[in-house]
Chains A and B, each alone.
Chain A
Amino acid sequence: MKRYLAWGLALLIAASGCAAPASPEVSDTSEASPSGTQAENGRVPVLRLAGGTDWGAPGVYLHASRGPGNAKKDLIFASLLEADEKGVIGWMAESWEADGNNYTFTLHSDAKFHDGEPLTAEDVAFTIDYYRQFPPVNNPLGAGEGFLISGYEVIDPQRIKISVNNSDAVTLTALGGFEILPKHIWERVEDPMTYSEPDAFIGSGAYCFSSYDGATGSYEFTAFDGFCAGEPAADRIQFVPVSDELLAFENGEIDIAGLPADLFDRYASDPAIGMLEKANDMGYKLLINFEKHPEFLELAMRGGLYQALDRQAVVDKVFRGMGAVGSAGYAPPGSIYYNENCVRYPYEPEKAAALFAGKGISVAMIAANSGNDVKIAELVKNDLTAAGIEVEVAAYDSAVRDEMVNAGDYEFALVGNGGWGGKAPAYLRTIFSDLSKNRGGNPHSMGPIGYSSERITELAEAQQLETDFNRRVEIFQELQLEISREIPLVVIATQSSYSIYRKDYYDGWMKTYDYQQAEQNRLSYLKRS
């Protein structure tokens, strides 16, 4: 009887796994040795990263619109330009020229797609037309009437001139950032949103698509020997399901893992372990709806909020020391755009209490119910209560919180999001400029409601039009100084995070000058000189 039961159990489970469809595109998946030895071609046999989440199939129309989904697509597809530690570099384009509103790109003569077909200016031109009609998930070119490109001219198979109506500081990176589609495949695809045939994954990137299984969140990519802009550093890249990243790293199942703050010291002292810092990349701010609380239109009252908040406590208690008190100018310390001369507001609870005493201010503060949001909201509440402001915290699902903030349905809102560090803080425009704020759903578009400043708007818009890098940095710094003086919102703190990897196995992880996510950066998977 028991034997039959055991077999019954085995068959039940087996039926589940066997019936689960494997990837329709599974190809050669021979098991590699995870040893530290490199193959004769100088590549590591396989790089394994934490997976398990389905970020969609890695096609330009099929991936999830989040960093990890986009990064997998980036391994397969290539754009005209890329970025390295210092600035913009050629990718499928070996050179480029900017002349007013016209940009001429010259492609590598040996650029080709994974199926061996050459990549030419015709493919770039086709991609522009196709994206105008069908915007991809990650879409630097815009859509509809906001489409960036006004025209193009194919000069010869290797050169294309692309024109825009109004060139600004981000035009070159936008034009260089769209993924090039092979015309010979996509010209016959009428509905790209549902097209998932094997050739939907043919690109010109450093790695070919090998396998994807949405159910298990597993992905595999294999090196493309014909890649024209560099040499792949691994024969294969795999994303494998893990329950706990650190356990999986310790178990040798993955080669890089996120590091919890409390374990920092343990790994920092290990010479075999390399560390990657994402400095101050996650930030928290307190938005004030001035239409509902006009008393804060008085500058001293806003300064009083800074005085009331023990922001170092957020860094110490919530971030476990991995982060920094927020700069009142918004851009975080560590950014090349950071202005260290911004006004600093120390924690002065007595002054705050004196300021708010007897005013009878009562606010409702919304926060997300995930991440560190609730913990930070409680600390903020305690500090403000001690200063004499009555605070009622309501925590919501992040999507609800987002919708309430976008609709202006709040008094105070605690908002946390990533992407603060590294990048050029173009978000200062979409947060603070009266002409550009609150125009989208992105947290970097959530600006103060009922507050306006001509000077801040002028600077925030000016940086966007400035194409000279050094002058743009100066404008950014001036803008931060003005923001720190005016306090349109309260910057609480920024959090840093770390990834660890085994140096003796693979040491090629790198961050670009404007992006800190090394695992999501395709240059991390190329040999670097």
Chain B
Amino acid sequence: MRKRWLWLICSFLAIYLVNFLIPRLMPGDPFRYTSSVSGDDLDAGYSAEQVEQLRAYYRLDEPLAGQLLDSTARALRGDLGDSIYYKKPVAEVLAERLPWSLGLMAASLAVSLTAGTVFALWAARRRNADRVLYPVCSVLAEVPAFLLGVLLLFLVAARVRWIPLSGGVTPFARHADFGERLSDLLIHALMPLCTMVLAQLPQFFFTARACFLSELEKPYLLAARAKGLREGRIRFHYLLKNSAAALVARIFLSVSTAVGATLLVENVFAYPGIGRVLREAVAYRDFPMIQGVFLISSLLVLVCLFLADRINGDSAGGEG
């Protein structure tokens, strides 16, 4: 157990260091990046004097070691620095966006898990269903989330008037009550959520299917059937229960792919969240913002992997 904690802490420190160094070692400059396409032209680049002033303000004129110490000391106080592009505290930008991304990820994982498990139960029992579900999920698993999003946008959302094309909530709407706001949020989340579910469902289906097929071959199920237990009880009580650890571990293992998919899907549907922030932060070389987004997302993934590892370990220990 101690070893696992040590690994977690070492991994975190390594990630923190890499998160700090990579943006600063990347070519490109937050104050000298001026390329543009028509429409978002830079009106006027900063003068050399202004760049000097800005570097000093954001403490980017200090040596890397000094910046690292300063950044670490501030991070320990909960201060992730100020975004150069958004011109506000990184923590404030993350606090505005994270709930949207986490909500979408959590909801999509929950729906994917449920749907994937139900489909796997069905496939495990009916060979005909398996013949359809297995290849469909195999194909879905290979389609990138952003492509699924674009397809849903143009083939579904653009044709169905009541489905919003973009955003997370109707802009500037004044909702009469919580129910109205809830339904507005749900309807805006529909397409991004469907995209995420389609992208994540296959991995839950395959995990659950493999677990169920493996369990079905075990002798205790033969004994259960011989005792005359009903099929429903066998499926829900034995199959599901004995596969639960693997499925829960799958959830945590899926968080890393869910983070990646969320970043892309948010961009397709103009859905608020950290995906758009990351894109802009990287494009404009907003060092503190890149650092903040990667820190939060890598922390999330690390903790989830740690939990998955524990669940798998406990499960294996239990079996042993």
The residues of A with any CB-CB pair to B shorter than 8 Å are 5, 8-10, 12-21, 29-31, 51-54, 56-57, 61-68, 70, 135, 137-140, 142-146, 193-194, 196, 211, 213-218, 220, 238, 240-244, 247-248, 251, 253, 258, 278, 281-282, 368, 371, 396-404, 406, 416-419, 439-443, 445, 495, 497, 517, 520
Q: Can you list 10 A-B contacts (CB < 8 A)?
A: A16-B100, A17-B100, A29-B173, A65-B43, A193-B87, A215-B168, A241-B166, A399-B26, A441-B33, A443-B35
- Interface assignment of B128: CB less than 8 Å from any CB of chain A: no
Contact residues in A for B38 (Cβ distance below 8 Å): 278, 281-282, 418-419, 495, 497
- Cα A419 to Cα B52 with chains together (Å): 26
- Interface assignment of B189: CB less than 8 Å from any CB of chain A: yes
Q: Contact residue range for chain B?
A: 35 or more
- Cα A403 to Cα B42 with chains together (Å): 16
* CB of B60, distance to nearest CB on chain A (Å): 14
Contact residues in A for B111 (Cβ distance below 8 Å): 9
Cβ B40 vs Cβ A216 within 8 A: no
- Interface assignment of B37: CB less than 8 Å from any CB of chain A: yes
- Interface assignment of B270: CB less than 8 Å from any CB of chain A: yes
- Cα A140 to Cα B31 with chains together (Å): 16
Cβ A242 vs Cβ B270 within 8 A: yes
Cβ B103 vs Cβ A17 within 8 A: yes
* CB of B150, distance to nearest CB on chain A (Å): 9
Contact residues in B for A142 (Cβ distance below 8 Å): 47, 49-50
Cβ A216 vs Cβ B167 within 8 A: yes
Excluding A67-B42, A144-B52, A253-B165, 14 further A-B contacts by CB distance (< 8 Å) are A16-B102, A17-B168, A20-B168, A52-B270, A57-B88, A67-B41, A241-B167, A251-B161, A258-B39, A399-B35, A403-B28, A404-B27, A441-B29, A442-B34
Contact residues in A for B169 (Cβ distance below 8 Å): 17, 216
Contact residues in B for A253 (Cβ distance below 8 Å): 165
- Interface assignment of B68: CB less than 8 Å from any CB of chain A: no
Chain B, 204-246, contact with A by CB distance < 8 Å: what is the 0/1 string? 0000000000000000000000000000000000000000000
- Cα A140 to Cα B272 with chains together (Å): 33
- Cα A430 to Cα B186 with chains together (Å): 52
Residues 264-283 of B contacting A (Cβ, < 8 Å): 268-270, 272-273, 276-277, 280, 283
Contact residues in B for A140 (Cβ distance below 8 Å): 44
Chain B, 288-305, contact with A by CB distance < 8 Å: what is the 0/1 string? 000000000000000000
Contact residues in B for A401 (Cβ distance below 8 Å): 35
Contact residues in A for B93 (Cβ distance below 8 Å): 214
* CB of B47, distance to nearest CB on chain A (Å): 5
The residues of B with any CB-CB pair to A shorter than 8 Å are 26-29, 31-50, 52-53, 57, 82, 85-88, 93, 95-97, 99-104, 106-107, 110-111, 114, 153-154, 158, 161, 165-169, 171-174, 178, 181-182, 185-186, 189, 193, 268-270, 272-273, 276-277, 280, 283-285
Cβ B182 vs Cβ A14 within 8 A: yes
- Cα A32 to Cα B9 with chains together (Å): 53
Cβ B42 vs Cβ A145 within 8 A: no
Contact residues in A for B46 (Cβ distance below 8 Å): 65, 139, 440-441
Cβ A13 vs Cβ B189 within 8 A: yes
Q: Contacting A146 at CB < 8 Å: which of B39, B49, B153, B280?
A: B49
Q: Contacting A12 at CB < 8 Å: which of B103, B168, B181?
A: B103
Contact residues in A for B82 (Cβ distance below 8 Å): 193-194
Cβ A217 vs Cβ B270 within 8 A: yes
Cβ B29 vs Cβ A240 within 8 A: no
* CB of B6, distance to nearest CB on chain A (Å): 33
- Cα A217 to Cα B270 with chains together (Å): 9
- Cα A56 to Cα B193 with chains together (Å): 27
Contact residues in A for B100 (Cβ distance below 8 Å): 16-17, 20, 215
Q: Contacting A244 at CB < 8 Å: which of B36, B165, B174?
A: B165
Contact residues in A for B161 (Cβ distance below 8 Å): 251
Closest to B95 in A: A21
* CB of A84, distance to nearest CB on chain B (Å): 18
Cβ B87 vs Cβ A61 within 8 A: yes
- Cα A242 to Cα B36 with chains together (Å): 20
Contact residues in A for B103 (Cβ distance below 8 Å): 12-13, 15-17, 19
Cβ A418 vs Cβ B36 within 8 A: yes
Q: Contacting A403 at CB < 8 Å: which of B32, B39, B41?
A: B32
Total inter-chain residue pairs, C-beta < 8 Å? 277
Cβ A31 vs Cβ B39 within 8 A: no
- Cα A441 to Cα B45 with chains together (Å): 7
**Given contacts A30-B174, A399-B283, A240 and B27 within 8 Å (CB-CB):** no
Cβ B107 vs Cβ A13 within 8 A: yes
Cβ A17 vs Cβ B185 within 8 A: yes
Contact residues in B for A247 (Cβ distance below 8 Å): 153-154, 158, 165
- Cα A57 to Cα B107 with chains together (Å): 30
- Cα A406 to Cα B28 with chains together (Å): 10
Cβ A402 vs Cβ B49 within 8 A: no
Contact residues in A for B171 (Cβ distance below 8 Å): 51, 213, 216, 218, 220, 238, 240-241
Cβ A144 vs Cβ B285 within 8 A: no
Contact residues in A for B107 (Cβ distance below 8 Å): 9, 12-13, 16
Contact residues in B for A216 (Cβ distance below 8 Å): 167-169, 171, 272
Cβ B172 vs Cβ A66 within 8 A: no
- Cα A248 to Cα B157 with chains together (Å): 11
Closest to A174 in B: B44
Closest to B153 in A: A243
Contact residues in B for A242 (Cβ distance below 8 Å): 165-167, 270
Q: Contacting A18 at CB < 8 Å: which of B167, B172, B185?
A: B185
Closest to B189 in A: A13
* CB of B121, distance to nearest CB on chain A (Å): 13
| Most chain B CB inside 10 Å of its own CB: which residue of A13, A397, A400 | A13
**Given contacts A143-B50, A218-B172, A371-B37, A243 and B270 within 8 Å (CB-CB):** yes
- Cα A218 to Cα B268 with chains together (Å): 17
- Cα A109 to Cα B40 with chains together (Å): 35
Contact residues in A for B86 (Cβ distance below 8 Å): 54, 56, 64, 214
Q: Contacting B49 at CB < 8 Å: which of A10, A145, A445?
A: A145
Cβ A418 vs Cβ B153 within 8 A: no
* CB of A123, distance to nearest CB on chain B (Å): 23
- Cα A193 to Cα B88 with chains together (Å): 8
Cβ B40 vs Cβ A66 within 8 A: yes
Q: Which 9 A-B pairs have the closest CB atoms?
A: A16-B103, A399-B28, A144-B49, A441-B32, A243-B166, A418-B38, A442-B45, A17-B185, A241-B167
**Given contacts A5-B114, A13-B189, A53-B280, A20 and B85 within 8 Å (CB-CB):** no
* CB of A141, distance to nearest CB on chain B (Å): 10
Cβ B53 vs Cβ A241 within 8 A: no
Cβ A215 vs Cβ B39 within 8 A: no
**Given contacts A440-B48, A445-B45, A399 and B270 within 8 Å (CB-CB):** no
- Cα A244 to Cα B165 with chains together (Å): 8
Cβ B49 vs Cβ A15 within 8 A: no
Closest to B52 in A: A144
- Cα A30 to Cα B175 with chains together (Å): 10
**Given contacts A240-B171, A399-B35, A399-B283, A215 and B97 within 8 Å (CB-CB):** yes
